A = this chain, B = another copy of it.
């Protein structure tokens, strides 16, 4: 049978280890480079998702026509080979594969529009334009393998904790949280709006009795800015849980989850992360430090950063808080609690006797906000008053207010951006590095 007809028997290049010396293997991958030593000895560095390996072509082991075809193989072409694993003192990994058969599955054009090695300086825009080539670089591909594992272990954890996964609509009849930064869609002669978060619907799931729910899905924000932390669409991880005593239950749950996931990622990825990103995956101590927003304002002001009370602390402020907590507590994480009512949405619960505050928090990691969480107001009458106080049009949100009319447990939850998590984990400079195909006001391709 021709090698082309048994591709499904292929094995990952990671199987090529000295301990598998002598084993016959079928490998597939991209050609990193071809080295012609002589007409009787040629090398190909072959790479797949799991790594690279030297394939050695010698006149005695492979037919002559195949050997000749190697000279014309262009970099990044896709080939398959059959061969034998062989220990080698010369090769970097102490092992190579002696090829017996080879076939070309797909030939790459030359020249490549992107330097995949990353050795010449490609800016992020160019990399994103050629994202499919950019990800053939191990470092860049690793980001997405880790993102996938982050999501996997998160689901694992949520499942163990009794959460179920829900799928909420992205088309909304009315803008979910006021009209700012919401995208409009032409919808059979009328307008609908793209969900900025699953907030209302994960709360509906609580009112429905689903008790503990999560969703990992795109959200859309018509954000005209071009910062390194914002996109017009991104994947959001949202949870909501019923029968909590206070917002502390949410913070404790988030802490437990993050520890679980970071441990899992450390086990599998720490070595690669060290070598590719120069950073260690550390398990944070618990409990994470906590600061009230009031304390946070004081710290930020002391650092000479201007910030008004009852307003958001801003990017420089968050960065300063990250440094402060690192310096004073040796910790990368910090919960900022008790955000002012003025800058939180109407559905956040307020502490009894402190109507200027909310039972909410942000979680910062290395000075970057990765989560917003809160206990929600589940008391129908209180909720209506809060909506009025915020000047909302009650008609637009009537369907939402109804969720709380016929019995609703106390509950709370949070939303986290997985790409921001990865950005912090790997010390990436831009959230777009961790987004497969970022979208901003100017970027809607590829």
Contact yes or no, B133 A406, CB < 8 A:
yes
Interface residues of A in 121-159 (CB under 8 A from B): 131-136, 141, 144-145, 147-148, 151-152, 155, 159
Contact yes or no, A173 B445, CB < 8 A:
yes
Interface string of A246-276 (1 = CB under 8 A from B): 0001000000000000000000000000000
Rounded to whole angstroms, the CA-CA distance of A165 and B153 in the bound complex is 12
List residues of chain B with CB within 8 A of the CB of A303.
none
Rounded to whole angstroms, the CA-CA distance of A249 and B445 in the bound complex is 31
Contact yes or no, B446 A209, CB < 8 A:
no
List residues of chain B with CB within 8 A of the CB of A21.
none
Main secondary structure of the interface of A (DSSP, over half): mixed
Supposing A201-B436, A218-B170, A218-B218 touch, asked if A28 and B243 sit within 8 A by C-beta, the answer is yes
Nearest chain-B residue to A235 (Cβ)? Answer: B167
Contact yes or no, B108 A405, CB < 8 A:
yes
Interface string of A162-192 (1 = CB under 8 A from B): 1011111111110000000001111110001
List residues of chain B with CB within 8 A of the CB of A48.
209, 211
List residues of chain B with CB within 8 A of the CB of A217.
217-218
Q: A17 contacts the other chain (Cβ, under 8 Å)?
A: no
Interface string of A210-227 (1 = CB under 8 A from B): 110000011010101000
Copies of chain A in the complex: 2
Contact yes or no, B249 A169, CB < 8 A:
no
Contact yes or no, A439 B171, CB < 8 A:
yes
- Looking at the complex, which of A5-13, A53-61, A83-91, A366-374 is the stretch in contact with chain B? A5-13
Supposing A135-B210, A217-B218, A436-B201 touch, asked if A165 and B151 sit within 8 A by C-beta, the answer is yes
Contact yes or no, B7 A243, CB < 8 A:
yes
Contact yes or no, A136 B209, CB < 8 A:
yes
List residues of chain B with CB within 8 A of the CB of A31.
407
**A227 to B: closest C-beta gap in Å:** 16
Supposing A218-B167, A218-B218, A233-B171 touch, asked if A209 and B407 sit within 8 A by C-beta, the answer is no
**A154 to B: closest C-beta gap in Å:** 11
Q: A409 contacts the other chain (Cβ, under 8 Å)?
A: yes
Q: A66 contacts the other chain (Cβ, under 8 Å)?
A: no
Rounded to whole angstroms, the CA-CA distance of A78 and B209 in the bound complex is 10
Supposing A192-B444, A402-B446 touch, asked if A245 and B8 sit within 8 A by C-beta, the answer is yes
Q: A194 contacts the other chain (Cβ, under 8 Å)?
A: yes
Q: A112 contacts the other chain (Cβ, under 8 Å)?
A: yes
Contact yes or no, B183 A186, CB < 8 A:
yes
Contact yes or no, B76 A407, CB < 8 A:
yes
Contact yes or no, A168 B406, CB < 8 A:
no
Q: A428 contacts the other chain (Cβ, under 8 Å)?
A: no
Rounded to whole angstroms, the CA-CA distance of A249 and B6 in the bound complex is 11
Rounded to whole angstroms, the CA-CA distance of A281 and B49 in the bound complex is 38
Rounded to whole angstroms, the CA-CA distance of A435 and B169 in the bound complex is 9
List residues of chain B with CB within 8 A of the CB of A28.
242-243, 409
Nearest chain-B residue to A171 (Cβ)? Answer: B439
Nearest chain-B residue to A145 (Cβ)? Answer: B164
**A272 to B: closest C-beta gap in Å:** 15
Contact yes or no, B245 A5, CB < 8 A:
yes
Rounded to whole angstroms, the CA-CA distance of A209 and B28 in the bound complex is 11
Q: A80-B243, A169-B438 are in contact. List 4 more A-B contacts (CB 8 A).
A: A148-B165, A167-B435, A188-B222, A218-B218
9 A-B residue pairings within 8 Å (CB atoms) = A12-B162, A135-B208, A145-B164, A152-B159, A152-B165, A166-B436, A169-B437, A169-B438, A170-B233
Residues of A in contact with B (beta carbons under 8 Å apart):
4-8, 10, 12, 28-31, 47-49, 76-78, 80, 105-109, 112-113, 131-136, 141, 144-145, 147-148, 151-152, 155, 159, 162, 164-173, 183-188, 192, 194, 201, 204-205, 207-211, 217-218, 220, 222, 224, 232-233, 235, 242-245, 249, 378-379, 399-400, 402-410, 435-439, 441, 444-446
